[in-house]
Amino acid sequence: MKKVIAAVVLAIFAAFPALADVPAALDGLAVSGITAEYDWTLNRVVLSNGEERVVVIINYPYLISGDKMIRLDAPPVIEGSGVMISAYTAARIKEELPERPQAVTPETITIKADAAPEKTAVTARGTTGEVKAQYYAATPVALKRAYTAKYKARVKKSNPASVTQPVIPAAATPVIEAKGGKPLRRRLVVIDPGHGGKDSGALGHHGLKEKDVVLAVALDVKKDMNDYPADVLITRDTDDFITLKGRTVFANARKADIFVSIHCNSSPDSQVCGTRTYIYNRVASSKEAAEAARYENGQEGSFEFLMNDLRKSAYEYLSIELAGNIQHAMSDELKFKWMPAARAPFYVLANTDMPAVLVETAFISNNMEEQEMETPGFRDKIADGIAKGIEEYFAKIQ
């Protein structure tokens, strides 16, 4: 009986294919007046209706609209030579980029009727679809002169394979006065809570998951910086899995001023404790640093690290400054022994185009620190330390 019911259900769904969320080509949005500019170097697509714009990132489960991050049911993916999106994603894009009717331009036409006074007709041009002009005439001769105005919206089509770098107008940067009267440029900070979704990260002896701790800390950092002249974006604000590449692409696409990745440390030795802050270097500064990077990088290869060494050297001094300020502030908040910033080949640090650090907040493998991290008060102190370190960093580099 169950098999019969299952077969009937499948038959119903087969009869109504519209119920399924069938992936569609991103270029299909062109019929709604939405244009797409592809940037394959950053794996992103900038969509616009002529006034507003949104950004989708390949393999990233969020739609970026201004300061909003809209959760998608499935990330955009590359198939063949195009980008495919779900029906839900297409609907959300259309909500953010509503079709804009073009300006209506009245046109006055004079019609000469046989043995009748001149009459006037007004035609509205510029609206999508077919527009019929209304004519008033005294004879059939004049009626023959009436015509139907047709307007077809022209759609700008873009070939992804031929597009290089999109031209994006820069947003106006708010200026805020510091205490001494010196203007402070509003900063853009990307906070990256590690792991998420199917990737729990390190596990404590009592079952605490790294992904849960770091997400709570990241949200607290954002809240702590509400009054600071900075926009704080988070790579994930829910329990989602995001690839390491997706995290770096997100920060690079937004052209962030700094990137701070938050994690919990773990060690086979349950007695090891404390907090660590890392900057990028292809050669780890210690065995512990090498083990931490190996664990966080997962299956990522080493080729991209070699390609990024020269580029990352430009941000080395600023990364050291950022790591030092965060480490000092966290040590003060948590009453931990201060440790100098370490170096390791973390993927997310190697592939970000800005000063970047990775914070190992505490050891989830240490029984005492695991119990501490379960409490909101301890997580608040971690977030306070990270926020203060970021603010001190920006104060020093003004």
Q: What is the pLDDT of residue 204?
A: 95
Q: Which pair of tokens denotes residue 203?
A: 């596990």
pTM above 0.85, yes or no: no
Bridge partners, residue 47, by sequence: 36, 54
Question: What pLDDT, in 10s, does the model give residues 237-282?
Answer: 999 999 888 899 899 888 899 999 999 999 999 999 999 999 987 6
Top pLDDT among 113 and 255 is at: 255
Model confidence at 159: pLDDT above 60: no
Closest C-alpha among 147, 139, 151, 87 to residue 115: 139
Q: What angle do CA 390, 395, 398 make, to 5 degrees?
A: 120
The CB density around residue 306, as the number of other CB atoms within 10 Å, is 12
> 3-state SS string over the chain?
CHHHHHHHHHHHHHHCHHHCCCCEEHHHHHHHCCEEEEECCCCEEEEECCCCEEEEECCCCEEEECCEEEECCCCCEEECCEEEECHHHHHHHHHHCCCCCCCCEEEEEEECCCCCCCEEEEEEECCCEEEECECCCCCHHHHHCCCEEEECCCCCCCCHHHCCCCCCCCCCCCEEECCCCCEEECEEEEEEECCECCECCCECCCCCEHHHHHHHHHHHHHHHCCCCCEEEEECCCCCCCCCHHHHHHHHHHHCCCEEEEEEEECCCCCCCCCCEEEEECCCCCCHHHHHHHHHHHCCCCCHHHHHHHHHHHCCHHHHHHHHHHHHHHHHHHHCCCCCCCEEECCHHHHCCCCCEEEEEEEECCCHHHHHHHCCHHHHHHHHHHHHHHHHHHHHHHC
Closest C-alpha among 74, 77, 53, 76 to residue 64: 53
Which class is domain 20-96? alpha beta
Top pLDDT among 132 and 281 is at: 281
Averaged pLDDT, 351-378 = 95
Model confidence at 146: pLDDT above 90: no
Q: At what angle do helices 316-334 and 376-397 cross, to 10 degrees?
A: 140
Rg of the chain taking only CA atoms, in angstroms: 28
Q: Domain limits of the chain?
A: 20-96, 105-151, 175-397
The CB density around residue 380, as the number of other CB atoms within 10 Å, is 16
Bridge partners, residue 70, by sequence: 63
Q: Which pair of tokens denotes residue 181?
A: 């009267």
Q: If one looks up domain 175-397 in CATH, what number appears?
A: 3.40.630.40
Dihedrals phi, psi of 278, to nearest 5 degrees: -120, 150
Look over the chain and give the mean of its residue pLDDT values, rounded to a whole number. Answer: 74
Residue 63: band (very low, low, confident or very high) from pLDDT cuts 50, 70, 90: confident
Place of tokens 């349950």: 270
Bridge partners, residue 65, by sequence: 68
Model confidence at 147: pLDDT above 50: no
Q: What is the pLDDT of residue 100?
A: 73
Q: Which pair of tokens denotes residue 325?
A: 């300020």
Question: What pLDDT, in 10s, does the model give residues 160-216?
Answer: 333 333 333 333 434 444 445 555 678 999 999 999 999 999 999 999 999 999 999
Residue 137: band (very low, low, confident or very high) from pLDDT cuts 50, 70, 90: very low
Q: What is the pLDDT of residue 70?
A: 86
Top pLDDT among 104 and 95 is at: 95
